[in-house]
Chain A
Amino acid sequence: MNGSSDQPDHQLGFFRYSSRALIICMPIVALVIAARQVYLSNYHGLAVWKGGGMGMFASMDGQANRFAQLFITQSDGTRQPLTHLLRVQKDAIDNALNYPVRRNFLAVAKSIATIEWASSPERMPVVLIDSKGEPAGRASESYHMMAPFRPRSRDEKWKGNIQIEFWKMSYNPLTRTCHATLAQTFAFTPDEVQQ
């Protein structure tokens, strides 16, 4: 059975000569990947929960404090927000929020572009909110409500740009205030999102 020292060393013969390699191989790989994760988290926004580091419950910055706002923009500069998203689009956004690079938000935009969107005839006003969460009047903008209508045919061209704003929230425990910052805006042209 296994384990006899008389058994021929035919199993992965290379490791006969470097038995230590068997032992330390994975620790080295783990350290390299963890170092990469730390770099990507600090400089490219990778969520600390992902990518091979050990940063679980190490920072507030992750899925819980990140969100995205999506807009379809027209040639005249007006834009309408997309709030009623399909499951597949929400999943794509969650992926992009984990690693907020252009490539991942492009996947979101492409997913948006596979659907025909219907807009409400009336414009809805944007409400101004004060720091206590109470309405404080109306903003100058107003938008049409957009909802997914049906799948778009592959031979139909997508019209309009798609704009995705990537936001982060931070929390100050001393003042108990939460602050939102627009971290990055991504704009995608019709050619980019056409599948």
Chain B
Amino acid sequence: MSMAEPSQGNWARRFTLEALIKSTQQLELVQFVSLLTLFLAVTFPFDHWLFIITARVCLFLFLIFPIIIRKPAFWAALALSATVVTILEWATTDNHKYLLLYWLWVVVFCHAAVDPDQKRRVLVFNARFFLCFVFLAAVAQKLSSPSYRSGEMFEYFLYCDPRFTAFGKLVGIDPKVADAVQKILDFFKSPFSQVINNELLLPGTDRARIVALALTFWDISLQSLIGVLFLWRRTFTDKIAHLLLLFFVFTTYLPAPVFGFGWILAIWGLILAKDRFPKISAAYFISFPAILLYQLPWREWVLGMNS
């Protein structure tokens, strides 16, 4: 049997959009989701040796015995190690890592079910539940937070959070503003300086204020729409929800480097869209490599550019 791939000449035909749509339709859902979840566990794992080793061993076993990915015990190993890690470090584990934990257990239950319809139902129900939960709970926590509602949170992050400095530069906020703010705030932190009345005037800008208000409004509207639309469970509302979710995934994870979160949202979206909206599921398919590409150090490039 020839080892080399003889079909290089077919590549151009293979990579048309129709071919992509057709490919995603032909993939078996449970299998596809299992593969993407395994990838998530290996690439964006819990930051703890127990889970990292378990994920790597599982990846090794899968590559040597591919059929193992259908065994509940395979997923139970991942889910159990994730549970142990989360219990040990519950206060320092990011919220989206809890979602990974829940999802691993969902995949365990999916593979524990015998009937293929049952497997599918486990995935579809939980995908919709968690999408609604994530967005509606986020909206609830944001709306109940005065610092969010007033726009001060995003404005403060534009000044103080290094992840936002490059984004700020792209929307016309000079990085020097952020530098100046952080310099001033260091007076609070240093025991060798005492700030009178514990109050400092920050050298902020009107542009940052406007951008913060725009971000606040956009963020809350988008997330509440996605959550509410998925709750309806109608074809039309689902379609709009998917488009908004795709927009969210493609735009949010460029400035916000929480890639594991974007990945799992894309998995859930794909589960709901795969058999009903072929073009949308192809778009989810593309979102996975896009999330990987978002790890490029674009912030350093932007900040290194002459303005």
Q: What residues make up the interface of A, taking CB atoms closer than 8 Å to B? A: 2-3, 5, 7, 9, 11-12, 15, 19, 22-27, 29-31, 33-34, 37-38, 46, 48-61, 64-65, 67, 69, 71, 81, 83, 95, 98-99, 104, 124-133, 136, 139, 141, 143, 167, 169-173, 175-181
In the complex, the 3 A-B pairs of residues with the closest C-beta atoms, listed nearest first: A81-B191, A54-B137, A3-B116
Do A33 and B193 touch (CB < 8 A)?
no
| Residue numbers in A under 8 Å from B295 (CB-CB) | none
Provide a sorted-by-A list of 10 A–B residue pairs whose CB atoms are within 8 angstroms. A22-B122, A26-B106, A27-B133, A46-B91, A60-B147, A126-B193, A136-B196, A173-B150, A176-B202, A177-B199
Q: CB < 8 Å: which of B95, B114, B198 contacts A52?
A: B95
| Residue numbers in B under 8 Å from A11 (CB-CB) | 72, 111-114
Do B258 and A22 touch (CB < 8 A)?
no
Is B7 an interface residue, CB under 8 A from the partner?
no
**Chain A min CB distance to B123 (Å):** 10
Do A167 and B202 touch (CB < 8 A)?
no
Q: What residues make up the interface of B, taking CB atoms closer than 8 Å to A? A: 70, 72, 90-96, 98-99, 102-103, 105-106, 109-116, 118-119, 121-122, 125-126, 129-130, 133-135, 137-138, 140-142, 145, 147-148, 150-157, 160-161, 183-185, 187-204, 209, 212, 219, 256, 258, 261
Complexed CA–CA distance, A181 and B200 (Å): 12
Q: CB < 8 Å: which of B70, B106, B122 contacts A2?
A: B70
Main secondary structure of the interface of A (DSSP, over half): mixed
| Residue numbers in A under 8 Å from B184 (CB-CB) | 133, 178
| Residue numbers in B under 8 Å from A51 (CB-CB) | 90-91, 93, 95, 98
Do B112 and A12 touch (CB < 8 A)?
yes
Q: CB < 8 Å: which of B122, B145, B151 contacts A173?
A: B151
| Residue numbers in A under 8 Å from B193 (CB-CB) | 126-129
Complexed CA–CA distance, A129 and B185 (Å): 11
Q: CB < 8 Å: which of A31, A38, A50, A139 contacts B93?
A: A50
Do A15 and B161 touch (CB < 8 A)?
no
Known: A11-B112, A129-B187, A167-B188. A177 touches B152 (CB 8 A): no
Name the residue on B nearest A67 (C-beta): B189
Do B192 and A143 touch (CB < 8 A)?
yes
Do A176 and B204 touch (CB < 8 A)?
yes
Q: CB < 8 Å: which of B95, B111, B133, B195 contacts A56?
A: B95
Q: CB < 8 Å: which of B93, B133, B151 contacts A54?
A: B133
Q: CB < 8 Å: which of A26, A58, A133, A176 contacts B187?
A: A133
Name the residue on A nearest B189 (C-beta): A67
Known: A131-B200, A133-B184. A19 touches B92 (CB 8 A): no
Complexed CA–CA distance, A180 and B194 (Å): 11
- Taking each of A2, A27, A99, A171, which has the highest tally of chain B beta carbons within 10 Å of its own beta carbon? A171
| Residue numbers in A under 8 Å from B156 (CB-CB) | 60, 64-65, 171
Do B192 and A131 touch (CB < 8 A)?
no
**Chain A min CB distance to B277 (Å):** 23
Complexed CA–CA distance, A30 and B19 (Å): 38
Known: A30-B98, A56-B95. A129 touches B195 (CB 8 A): yes
**Chain B min CB distance to A71 (Å):** 7
Complexed CA–CA distance, A7 and B119 (Å): 14
Complexed CA–CA distance, A129 and B147 (Å): 26
